[in-house]
Amino acid sequence: MRKVIVMTAILALTACGQESNDKIQRAKAASESTVVQAPVAQWALEITEGQRATITDTTGRLLDNGFTPYIFEIAGVQHFLIGPFASEAQALEAQAKMKLKPKLDGIETNVIELPAAN
């Protein structure tokens, strides 16, 4: 968002005839120096529920209780996950919250570390 504002300011300065290279360079430097890396999400909850329910039934139950599942492929194998979470502690907290929901009885999960993105 900030880059859009800075670029708009640069265009406005140029359009008004104030083509000061110094101002343009300062605006570019400000936008480049404020780039922040988001934390890499490395943890997830893997749904390990048996064959009792279909994925669609389980997905519906999870969504109704505030958890968004997704399918993620790891080494050619598809995994049914909830997350991702930035830390193992956050994943464990979500797992504990799931256990407190009576409508999610029978859905078992394991905390797993996701492979680093290449």
The segment(s) of the chain belonging to CATH 3.30.70 are 43-113
Nearest-angstrom CA–CA distance, 91 and 97: 10
**pLDDT (tens digit, 9 = 90+) per residue, 23-68?**
556 655 555 544 445 456 689 999 886 546 678 888 888 899 999 8
Q: What is the DSSP letter of 104?
A: G
**pLDDT (tens digit, 9 = 90+) per residue, 61-96?**
889 999 989 988 888 888 889 988 999 999 999 999
Q: Is the pLDDT of residue 6 over 90?
A: no
* Residue 35, pLDDT score: 47
43-113 is a CATH 3.10.450 domain: no
Nearest-angstrom CA–CA distance, 81 and 71: 6
